Amino acid sequence: MSETNTRMAPIVVDHPLVQHKLTRLRQASTSTAGFRRLTRELSLLLCYEATRDLPTEAVEIETPVESTTGRTLSGKKLCFISILRAGNGILDGMLDLVPAARVGHIGLYRDHDTLEAIEYYMKLPDDVAERDCIVVDPMLATGHSAAAAIDRVKAAGVTNIIFVCLLGAPEGMDYMAARHPDVKIVTCSIDRGLNEKGYIVPGLGDAGDRLFGTR
């Protein structure tokens, strides 16, 4: 996929199971264990949608009954790239669906005054430029962290990138569209907006704190 000036419309997964699990995830009363489980389940469903257009090829196989033609994945292999720390909560569900995928990590934190993303760690597979990449982070708020992470991934030679998040804000969607119009976004919901602290509303709180029990 080449970069263009045409904005790619985000994909909001409105499947009833996704929306039901998202509602439970939002609830303040959901326990840490429940939040982790729901995040894993939602991540698997989002991965299903994000990988919908993977290329396939015909192969001849033998079933216990007869010969037949099936389809198997072809083309580039996948790499999941987690934006630390909260992105790690999404990895398990995705790896359940695609266990052979490689995994990369990018460590970023948000400066609370400027809201800019500051990098402190990056480790990607050696062959990442030869793979299609799915970058994951539970929240797309201002979009600064996601855009900064994708800057690094593109600098490593990756040309086909999808961004997956549980929730997004219109401000983050617009920022990503301006910085990376070629990157498809897959999410469960685009919420109302950001509050004065840069948090998504109504949102679900701090995803990292809720995943790791540090709230």
Backbone φ, ψ for residue 137 (5° rounding): -160, 135
* CB proximity list for 35: less than 8 A, separation 6 or greater: 25, 210, 211
Pull the structure tokens for residue 95.
Answer: 């790896």
| 193-196 contact pairs (CB < 8 A, 24+) | 193/169, 194/141, 194/142, 194/169
DSSP-derived secondary structure letter, 128: G
Give the residue ranges of the annotated binding site for uracil.
200, 205-207
Which pLDDT does position 215 carry in this prediction? Answer: 67
Quick: pLDDT tens for 118-156.
889 999 999 999 999 999 999 999 998 899 999 999 999
Which residues does the annotation place in the binding site for 5-phospho-alpha-D-ribose 1-diphosphate?
85, 110, 137-145, 206
pLDDT tens string 172-182: 999 999 999 99
Which residues does the annotation mark as catalytic?
110, 114, 206, 209
List, in order of start, the domains of the chain with CATH numbers: 11-54+70-212 (3.40.50.2020)
Q: Which segments of the chain does DSSP mark as H helices, in order?
A: 16-26, 32-50, 88-97, 144-155, 170-179, 207-212
**Predicted TM-score of the model (pTM):** 0.90
The CB-side HSE value for 189 (13 A sphere, CA atoms) comes to: 19
